[in-house]
Structure formats: structure tokens, C-alpha cells
Amino acid sequence: MSAFGYQMVRLHYNLCEAVVGALEAIFNQKQYADKVLERLLKSNPKWGARDRAFIAESTYEIVRWWRKLLFLANEKYQENNEKYEKGIFWRVLGTFLLTQHKSIPAWQVWENLSLAKITENSKKITERAILHSIPDWLDKIGEKELGKDIWERELAILNQPAEVVLRVNTLKTSIEGLQKALQSQNIATQTTPYSPDALILCQRQNIFQNPLFKEGYFEVQDVGSQEIARFLRVQAGMRVIDACAGAGGKTLHLASLMQNKGRIIAMDTEAWKLTELKRRAKRNGVSIVETRLIESNKVIKRLANSADRLLLDVPCSGLGVLRRNPDAKWKLSERFLTEIQEKQYQILRNYSQMLKKGGLMVYATCSILPSENERQVERFLVENKMFRLLDSRYLFPSEYGFDGFFMALLEKTQ
């Protein structure tokens, strides 16, 4: 298990209690980890930076290693979504802290916990699903679809915390300009050969409060996510549709690649995401984005044969971004995977009609499962002879060190 990224703080009961409360909300109430921590930290403004780091990083690492920690603590893993007793969260927290710091206070909630027992239990782990802390069903599907070697290779890195990656807003500055501006605030960054607009923070911190962020000089966006917009081959002046835009991370990148010239129609089925997109576009100095709520297929039909470029960044399992969202693996199910695959194909089949002849379309996911990726494209091409595949790419976390993505570039030939 990975070590903390913050300096060790003295273990206070109230801070540990906060972690336990966060874990209860995530596992028993099925809430999203990022939202739980956002509310928790906002409701306790008196906590210092180290206290906040302790709570956030402890929670995320325990969620990441949940099944393995349960085994080390001699507690039963519930794969059928049954609720855990509060005492189990305390024992898992204590177990985790012992693996990190070798000692914990002699509080009653941690009675009978010892590093010696944990070390002994660690030697008994023989199952891959426990070792890498994932559900059994997911482990079986991963090996079936990717093969044993690739699956184990990806599992090893998907349990490592993700780096914080910035995307430079080239409408306002350059990568050199942003790097210098951040350096003047003693914020060190480094570039990566995988994306020309990306800067990686050398030390994790809350960058959202930075004035440069508030003024729209950068967005937080993973390297792989940045590559999807580039894959679409947009040019200034084009008419582009981002049909699964969400809150607009890729929409804003497309706008910068188009030099804020042309038109982007950003679409989604949830109005609140489009509202957030508008706010972000204003901050970024983007004026070419128009939002449209998808309330029925009529919205799609009205835009038939109208787009020079079409981005379909479809909903998916999110297996490629487990480093960033470790709680996702505990919320997924085989049924969800089947349902989301059908939804993906319906989007690909129905939304593709918005592309004009000679136009290019990108189908993309943040999953590494072929059933969500190339198999969907292969099925689509068999049933839609007016399209042809130009290129496709997998971005495997183990190969380039960032989140996992798949993208396929298709051309409408008639």
C-alpha cells in the first residue's frame, strides 16, 4: 500500500472520527468519495492543512485498499452491498494506520489490533482480488477480456494515486507562461511528452483556490483526457458537436484547439452539468460554445448531417480512472456493466447521424475493457457501412503512467 503524501500528524480522535464518518457515507450510504470529502472539509473550516490532508488521503487510500484492509483486520468483505458496522470502519482505519506508521494510540476502538497480526495476515493472501483489492466478479471479467498478464499489469498501477495534471488554456497563456507564473508562487510543475498542453504538479495541493485557476489560465484535466480532444482533429471555424459534454472539460479543450473560432454545440442529458459548463466557459474566455439539453431524440434529429466533427465521450465503467476514483470499483456491478454497454451502443448508433458526409467522429471511453471499446466500434461498423475506421488508440495506465482511455476515429464516407 502506498505511503501518505503529507507529513505525519499527531493522531487526534476527532480527525479519525471524521475519516470513519466519511467511510460510512461512502460504503453504507453509497455516496461518492469526492463529494463526501468536499462537504466534510467545507463544514470544518478550522482544520489546518495537515489535518485536511490526513482526512482526505486516509479516506482515499482506505477506499482504494478496502478489501485487502478488511482481510488484514480479520473482517469479512461484503460483495453483496450489505452495510458494515461502525466498529469495522474503526478497525480498518487502525489497520491502515498501523501499516503506514507502525503505531497507534491505545484507544478502545483499536483494542486487540497489532502490527504483528496484520503482518501475519498479509502472508496469508493468495487471491489476486484480495491482493489488488477488487471485487471477484470484476477480477474475472478483467482477466477474461484482457488476458492474465495485461490485467495484472494494469491492476498494479490502478491502485497508485493519480497525479494532479493541469491543462494550459492556450487562449490566455502558453505552457511556458503558466509554468513561470506558477513557479513565481513556488508551485513546481513538470511537462510530459504525452501532451503539449499538460503540466504535472510536483506536489499535490488544492489548486482550485489559486488565482490563476479562477482567472481561467488552466483546468485540471488528465493527460489521457486531453488527448481525446486532439484525436478529433478539429480546426478553427468548424462546426463541432460534443454530444456527451458533461461539465465540459473536453469542450473547453476543443475550443482552445479551435482558437475560439467556429461553433461548438455541447450537449448532455443533465441540465446542471451544462450550467456548470457555461460557468467554466466564461472563466476560460470561451465564447463559441452553445449548450443544448438532450430531452428527446428530436434534439438529435434536428442536428442530422450538420457537424464537421462529433465527439462521443460516452458513459462507461470508469475502470481506466480508478486511480482517481477508487470508490467506483465498489459501486460497479455486472448488471451495470451490461446496461452501460447497451447505452454506449445506442449513443453511438443514434448520435452518429449528426455527422455530415466527410466529417470525423471520435468514440471514446475512460475504460480499458474491449467490450466497451473496440467491440462496440466493430459492431457499429458492421451495421453502418457509411462509416470507416481511420485510427484507434488505447492509453493503458501501465504504459504511460496516467489514466486509462480508449479512442477511435471514424469517418463518414457517404
**3-state secondary structure string, the chain?**
CCCCCCCCCCCCHHHHHHHHHHHHHHHCCCCCHHHHHHHHHHCCCCCCHHHHHHHHHHHHHHHHCHHHHHHHCCCCCCCCCCCCCHHHHHHHHHHHHHHHHCCCCCCHHHCCCCHHHHHHHHCCCCCHHHHCCCCHHHHHHHHHHHCHHHHHHHHHHHCCCCCCEEEECCCCCCHHHHHHHHHCCCCCEEEECCEEEEEEECCCCCHHHCHHHHCCCEEECCHHHHHHHHHCCCCCCCEEEECCCCCCHHHHHHHHHCCCCCEEEEEECCHHHHHHHHHHHHHHCCCCEEEEECCCHHHHHHCCCCEEEEEEECCCCCHHHCCCCCCHHHHCCHHHHHHHHHHHHHHHHHHHHHEEEEEEEEEEECCCCHHHCHHHHHHHHHHCCCEEEEEEEEECHHHHCCCCEEEEEEEECC
Q: Is residue 160 part of a domain?
A: no
Percent of the chain surpassing pLDDT 70: 98
pLDDT of residue 100 exceeding 60, the answer is yes
Asked if 362 contacts 235 with a C-beta cutoff of 8 angstroms, the reply is no
Residue 156 has pLDDT above 50, yes or no: yes
Q: Are residues 18 and 65 in the same domain?
A: yes
Query: In terms of domains, do 271 and 381 share one?
Result: yes
374 is a domain residue: yes
Same domain? For 196 and 238 the reply is no
Average pLDDT, the chain: 95
> Can you name the residues that pair with 393 across neighbouring β-strands?
407
If asked whether residues 237 and 383 sit together in one domain, one would say yes
pLDDT confidence band for 107 (50 / 70 / 90)? very high
Q: What pLDDT score does 6 carry? A: 46
- The pLDDT value recorded for residue 5 is 47
- Residue 328 makes CB contacts below 8 A (sequence gap 6+) with 317, 318, 319, 321, 322
Using CA atoms, how far apart are residues 396 and 403, in angstroms rounded to an integer?
A: 7
- 399, pLDDT greater than 80: yes
CATH code, domain carrying 129:
1.10.940
From the number of C-beta atoms within 10 Å of its C-beta (0-12, 13-18, 19+), residue 203 rates as exposed
Rounded Cα–Cα distance for residues 239 and 308 (Å) = 5
399 plus 272 within the same structural domain: yes
* Residues 305 and 259 both lie in one domain: yes
> Is the per-residue pLDDT at 2 higher than 60?
no
pLDDT surpasses 80 at 9: no
Segment 139-166 mean pLDDT: 96
Mean pLDDT for the stretch of residues 135-153: 97
Question: What CATH number does residue 361 fall under?
Answer: 3.40.50.150
Domain-terminating residue out of 114, 133, 152 = 133
Q: Which of 20-24, 76-80, 326-330 has the lowest mean pLDDT?
A: 76-80
Domains identified in the chain, total number: 3
Q: Are residues 54 and 196 in the same domain?
A: no
Same domain, 234 and 346: yes
Q: Are residues 257 and 127 in the same domain?
A: no
147, part of any domain: no
Kindly state whether residues 343 and 231 are assigned to the same domain.
yes
Of the three residues 133, 157, 179, the one that is the final residue of a domain is 133
pTM, 2 dp = 0.93
Shared domain check, 279 and 371? yes
Let me know whether 381 and 290 are in one domain: yes
Range of the domain at 101: 13-133
In a domain, residue 25? The reply is yes
Cα gap 298→311, rounded to integer Å: 19
Strand order of the sheet with strand 307-313?
A: 289-293, 263-268, 239-242, 307-313, 355-365, 405-412, 387-395
Q: Is 243 part of any domain?
A: yes
Residue 120 maps to a domain: yes
Distance CA 14, CA 184 (A): 36
Residue 167, pLDDT above cutoff 70: yes
The whole-number pLDDT of residue 141 equals 97
Res 101: pLDDT: 82
Give the mean pLDDT of 28-32: 94
Neighbours of 227 (CB within 10 A): 20
* pLDDT tens-digit series, residues 236-272: 999 999 999 999 999 999 999 999 999 999 999 999 9
The pLDDT confidence band at residue 212, using thresholds 50, 70 and 90, is: very high
Determine, yes or no, domain membership for 149: no
Residue 155 lies in a domain: no
pLDDT at 360: 98
- Rounded to the nearest 10 degrees, the angle between the axes of helix 223-231 and helix 249-257 is 50
